[in-house]
Amino acid sequence: MNDIRFVVSPRIMGEEKFFGPGIAVLLHRVEEYHSIRQATASMGMAYSKAWAIIRRAERELGFPLLNTTTGGKEGGGASLTAEGKAFLDKYDRFCALVNDHARTDFEAVFGPGASGQE
């Protein structure tokens, strides 16, 4: 039983599910690449799907997640808004707390050494 592990993937709900691991990765990639197109390419995600996910989250949250500039001579770009960065940071902190508690509970139920996480 040493090879068993758990996976916890928190999702935040409003009228519908609007924020979870997928959009969090997308936003981290936008931070890394400063480009929605490069972020989606790195994930194998369709550009149009990314925008649909971002728009749904922005509707639910009531604030924009991204600042964008259109292409041209200097090229376009994207960055997180201050509110978007703050929300992503809170989500990351929440996930860390949930996983820490889950790891403790998992070990209490399945025993030490069975806490390898994906």
- pLDDT digit string, tens, across residues 42-89: 999 999 999 999 999 999 999 999 999 887 666 779 999 999 999 999
Q: Could you give the number of structural domains in the chain? A: 1
Residue in this structure with the two tokens 């790195």, named with its chain if needed: 42
Residue 6 domain-assigned (yes or no): no
Residue 118 domain-assigned (yes or no): no
Residue 7 domain-assigned (yes or no): no
| Structural domain range at position 103 | 18-112
Can you give the CATH number for the domain in which 69 is found? Answer: 1.10.10.10
pTM: 0.87
